[in-house]
Amino acid sequence: MTLVLASSSPFRRMLLENAGLTFESRTADIDERQIEASEKHTGPEVVAGILARAKAQDVSRYFPDALVIGSDQTMSLGDRVYHKAKSRAEARDNLLSLSDRTHRLNSAVAIVKNGTVVWEHVAYAELTVRELTEGYVERYLDRIGDKAFSSVGGYQLEGEGIHLFSAIQGDYFTILGLPMLPLLEELRRLGAIDG
């Protein structure tokens, strides 16, 4: 059975490759911000699920009978939903707003076949940022450079971003944006991988 990843994320590709899966990949052609805006009264965990389904359904058009995996992640602190920073000033402000607080990563995954959702799941991780000073944040941004714009929180937990945290609850795969354990379990159940 053909597996397709509906994503351009190198992290998601790496997770599937490291798990030994054979798959194709294609980037979904959807307007995430437009979909999110139309769901502005919906919680961030629901939005993550809607985006994961939309990506998989879009790519499913090009791969008849394949199992298409879509995934998305939202980051929230209370009612505030964060997006990737577009400038250093925005990255700095985002990081300072997380200082000494706990935010949530909502990682959704969906499997679609012939345009129909056959399975979906949302996993959560809660991350507590230690108290940060403006000086430390500036030095951190100097060190990581453009990497600050490649993740929604301005950090990569697998890199120097680990220094920002005092506590983490949730699994590593959820934090990277693809809940691997439930996904692999479902792929085995569907007979798509050896189980």
Q: Which residue is it, tokens 């985006």? A: 51
Residue 93: active-site member = no
Which residues does 149 contact at the CB level (< 8 Å), separation at least 6? 84, 85, 86, 91
Tell me how crowded residue 70 is: count the other CB atoms within 10 A of its CB. 29
In Å, what is the CA distance from 148 to each residue of 6, 11, 44, 101, 153? 24, 15, 22, 19, 8
In Å, what is the CA distance from 118 to each residue of 83, 88, 121, 134? 28, 40, 11, 46
Catalytic residue among 29, 58, 72, 100: 72
Q: Looking at the annotation, which residues are catalytic?
A: 72
